[in-house]
């Protein structure tokens, strides 16, 4: 519940991973963050959106403990393992280092903590899932931007995180790759059970995989489930109404009672990609149900928009 007041944050809650209380931050006297409180639970996905300079990365740094806030406090669950995927990293171009070596440098997780994920992610599985095997022996400085994003995600997952923190994870990734990356994140989140906190500008792709959206512009303008936030006047002021063709709507699937409520085209994807559908002309957020011939079998099935 990201918009909760500090008073309502109960740190004793068994599945609470992280909580921030009345954070403020100034750089050289200039206020960058004002009175931010939030909490994030196991298995929850929170997406932080906001215009450039809104303070998103600063907030992440404070939550990760990389920056001390000017005021307020952050509580992290003891023994919390955080896998962090930064926006970008600098690697000395003269350093002889392959992708494999870079990944091997990832910190090995301590064996036991008081926090349990549903499953263990093996390194082999991560490499296979992210289609990394052909990259492993390449010099890390020679790989493309999109490949680098996959490497950084793999490195974050190597830590067996309880919380995955992603700062604009699809930067430099093509549209198809963006959708696949978010689908993958959603799949492993469900399988593994960790929480996700991410910064994204890709509203139309990211929102459907998000439980809570925090709209930041130095202060929290609005927050809540994607549908609610998308209709908030503050959101519309910052981002405009959703453009035709990129609108996102939630998909509530009932395999027993499978009906389309809007007559839009419906493309079925293989099971491993079945988080997205394309709909012909959605203009606003809405609700989507399936046809009787629909074979979808999970609640994670969700629509993508077709232009």
Ligand X SMILES: Nc1ncnc2c1ncn2[C@@H]1O[C@H](COP(=O)(O)OP(=O)(O)OP(=O)(O)O)[C@@H](O)[C@H]1O
Which residues are near ligand X by CB under 6 A?
27-28, 32, 50, 52-58
Residue 8 or residue 27: which is nearer to ligand X going by CB?
27
Residue 56 or residue 290: which is nearer to ligand X going by CB?
56
Token pair 């549903």: residue:
118
> CA separation (Å) from 122 to 102, 107, 125, 165, 175?
17, 14, 5, 19, 28
Residue 56 or residue 274: which is nearer to ligand X going by CB?
56
- Least gap, CB of 203 to ligand X (angstroms): 13
Q: Which residues of 112-138 are buried (b: 16+ CB within 10 A; e: fewer)?
A: eeebebeeebeeeebbebbebeebeee
- Least gap, CB of 16 to ligand X (angstroms): 25
Residue 50 or residue 282: which is nearer to ligand X going by CB?
50
C-alpha 61/C-alpha 131 separation (Å) is 29
The candidate with the shortest Cα–Cα distance to 63, out of 17, 29, 31, 28, is 17
250, 285 contact by CB (below 8 A): yes
Residue 85 or residue 140: which is nearer to ligand X going by CB?
85
> CA separation (Å) from 210 to 28, 145, 194, 196, 271?
34, 25, 13, 9, 20
φ, ψ of residue 151 to 5 degrees: the values are -65, -45
Residue 33 or residue 164: which is nearer to ligand X going by CB?
33
Residue 43 or residue 51: which is nearer to ligand X going by CB?
51
Residue 28 or residue 292: which is nearer to ligand X going by CB?
28
């Amino acid at each position: 519940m990201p918009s909760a007041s500090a008073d309502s944050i109960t740190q004793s809650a068994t599945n609470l991973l992280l909580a921030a209380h009345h954070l403020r931050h100034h750089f050289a006297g200039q206020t960058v963050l004002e009175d931010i409180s939030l909490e994030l639970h196991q298995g929850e996905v929170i997406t932080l959106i906001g215009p450039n300079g809104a303070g998103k990365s600063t907030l992440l740094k404070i939550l990760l403990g990389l920056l001390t806030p000017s005021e307020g406090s952050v509580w992290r669950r003891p023994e919390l393992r955080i896998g962090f995927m930064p926006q970008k990293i600098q690697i000395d171009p003269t350093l002889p280092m392959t992708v494999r070596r870079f990944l091997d440098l990832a910190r090995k997780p301590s064996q036991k903590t008081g926090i349990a994920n549903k499953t263990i992610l093996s390194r082999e599985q991560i490499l296979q899932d992210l289609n990394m095997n052909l990259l492993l022996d390449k010099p890390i400085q020679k790989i493309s931007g999109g490949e680098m994003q996959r490497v950084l995600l793999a490195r974050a997952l190597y830590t067996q995180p309880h919380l995955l923190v992603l700062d604009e994870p699809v930067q430099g990734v093509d549209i198809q790759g963006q959708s696949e990356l978010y689908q993958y994140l959603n799949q492993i989140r469900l399988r593994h059970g960790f929480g996700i906190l991410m910064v994204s500008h890709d509203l139309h792709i990211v929102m459907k995989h998000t439980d809570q959206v925090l709209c930041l512009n130095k202060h929290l303008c609005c927050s809540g489930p994607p549908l609610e936030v998308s209709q908030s006047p503050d959101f519309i002021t910052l981002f405009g109404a959703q453009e035709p063709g990129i609108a996102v709507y939630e998909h509530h699937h009932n395999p027993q009672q499978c009906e389309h409520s809007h007559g839009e085209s419906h493309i079925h994807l293989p099971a491993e990609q079945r988080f997205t559908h394309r709909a012909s002309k959605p203009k606003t957020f809405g609700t989507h149900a399936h046809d009787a011939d629909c074979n979808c079998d999970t609640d994670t099935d969700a629509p993508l928009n077709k232009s």
